[in-house]
Structure 1
Amino acid sequence: MVTASSPLSLFKALADDTRLQLVMLIMVEGEVCVCEMTHALNETQPKISRHLALLRRCGLLADRRDCQWVYYRLSPSLDDAALGLLQLTQDRYRHYIAPALERLVNMGNRPVRQRLYC
């Protein structure tokens, strides 16, 4: 579990480019489906799923299933220190995920996204 008492696990989880972008996208969108993330980051589904599983195992993310789709959001059990660090990163470095956000926006709204991309 990611807490202020385990900063090493938090920083290890975020030390990968793909994982950091995934967390930042989820922060912007609130909740994102795996197929949306694969399109936004232009990566394969197995790679995205592997990184999401690691982020879920370390306590950064929570998921919910809806039929064949899996949606990810920040874990409600994240402590204030971890949330503060993530928010500061999001506020200061939003440009870091600008291309991925643009691809996500270009997918359209969720019903259209699911029909066309998932």
Structure 2
Amino acid sequence: MRVKNFSLSFGLGVFKALSDEARVRILFLLYKQEEMCITDLEHILDFTQTKTSRHLRFLKNAGLVSSRKVDQFVYYRIKQQARDIIAQIFQYMNKDAVLLHDLETFHILYSNRELAIWKLHHQKKLYSS
């Protein structure tokens, strides 16, 4: 669903959400990765759990992100209604050094996670043989 127009209060919420560097960094990662766990955001951005939760709550209250809980993990994503607005904003910020560093950190952590999963899987095979 595309947003063709929105209310003043929604617009103010969007601009307030984008007025903080931490929230912009979180939104950029969510925009690039579709959905992320709060713990991944903490590690990538080197934020405390409290800071990450506070900013995600702000983004959620502004109507920009939604969440879902799976076991003890909470995953966040940009709401479909806000995706066009966010895409247009990041179209002009896609070469920012800080945002690109965050994305690179994500890729490093993700590749290490894949390596760790692979090692665990193969260790189980060795012990079960």
State if a TM-score over 0.5 links the two structures.
yes
2:91 counterpart of 1:87: no
Aligned with 1:108: secondary structure? helix
- For the pair 1:56 / 2:60, whether they are aligned, the reply is yes
Matched to 2:106, the amino acid is: L
Partner of 1:62: helix, strand, or coil? strand
What SS does structure 1 have at the residue aligned with 2:110? coil
Match of 1:23 among 5, 27, 47: 27
Q: Secondary structure at the match of 1:94?
A: coil
Partner of 1:105: 107
- 1:38 maps to 42
| Residue 75 (structure 1) aligns with | 79
| Higher RCO structure, 1 or 2 (CA under 8 Å, sep 6+) | 1
Q: How many residues align?
A: 109
Q: Which runs of 5+ in 1 are unaligned?
A: none
- Taking structure 2 as the reference length, what is the TM-score of the superposition? 0.74
Matched, 1:5 2:7: yes
Please report the RMSD computed on the Cα atoms of aligned residues, expressed in angstroms: 2.3
Please report how far the alpha carbon of residue 109 of structure 1 lies from its aligned counterpart in structure 2 after TM superposition. Answer: 5.2
Q: Distance in 1 between matches of 2:78 and 2:31?
A: 7
TM-score where L is the length of structure 1: 0.81
Identity of aligned residues (%): 30
| Unmatched runs of 5 consecutive residues or more in structure 2 | 118-129
Runs of 4 or more consecutive aligned structure 1 residues displaced over 3 Å after TM superposition: 109-113
**2:63 aligned partner, one-letter code:** G
Q: Which has the larger radius of gyration?
A: 2
